[in-house]
Structure 1
Amino acid sequence: MSDRMLELAAQQPGYLGIESFRSPDGKGVTISYWEDLNAITAWKQNPEHQSAQELGKIQWYQNYSIEIARIESGYSFDRP
């Protein structure tokens, strides 16, 4: 996600954060976290975000997928 899209997403109501991972061959996963489905829908309908998606389809991506999931529980481990 571009710096502009990161900045724009962070300004959206319900935005909770983002993580992005890329392999050496350029394949990647970006996970954005949102408060609820309404916040996701509002982000999807943001005109600047829609323009960036269209540009991505034309210039950068041969394919991509979007999945929406609810996190019911989570935990982590950090070695001291």
Structure 2
Amino acid sequence: MSIVTHTSPPYYAVIFTSIRTDAESYSAIAEHVLEEAKKQKGFLGFESARNEIGISVSYWRDLESIREWKEQTLHKKAQTMAHYFYTHFRVRVCKVEREYGF
């Protein structure tokens, strides 16, 4: 799934990797959380792929936008439920300085 808004670097990527336990319950919550993320100031886009390991990348204009998203009420609630949906997860915040492709 990809909804990336094209923007020129620099910008930031939040990379979320996970091993999921409960796909059915998670899907409904994830869709709702993504809809809320799209409304956040500084949100640029989202990409996701899943096999055994899931990788979701959200793109943000700046670190302040990421901090505000981390504190958003629905997102915080979803974070507290992480142990129900994942056996493992890791979050990485990276600065994108260059991109290219076709």
The TM-score with structure 1 as length reference comes to 0.86
- How many pairs align? 74
The equivalent position to 2:93 in structure 1, one of 43, 64, 68, is 68
2:50 and 2:74 mapped to 1: Cα distance? Answer: 24
Partner of 2:45: 17
| RMSD, aligned α-carbons | 1.1
Give matches, 1:27-66, under 5 Å.
Answer: 27-57=53-83, 59-66=84-91
Offset of 1:44 from its aligned partner?
0.4
Higher relative contact order (CA 8 A, sep 6+): 2
Greater gyration radius: 1
The sequence identity of aligned pairs, in percent, is: 35
Offset of 1:39 from its aligned partner?
0.2
Offset of 1:47 from its aligned partner?
1.5
Q: Which runs of 5+ in 1 are unaligned?
A: none
Q: Following superposition, which runs of at least 4 residues in structure 1 exceed 2 angstroms of deviation?
A: none
- Amino acid corresponding to residue 97 of structure 2 in structure 1: E
1:8 and 1:49 mapped to 2: Cα distance? Answer: 8
Q: Which runs of 5+ in 2 are unaligned?
A: 1-26
1:49 and 1:4 mapped to 2: Cα distance? Answer: 10
Offset of 1:48 from its aligned partner?
1.1
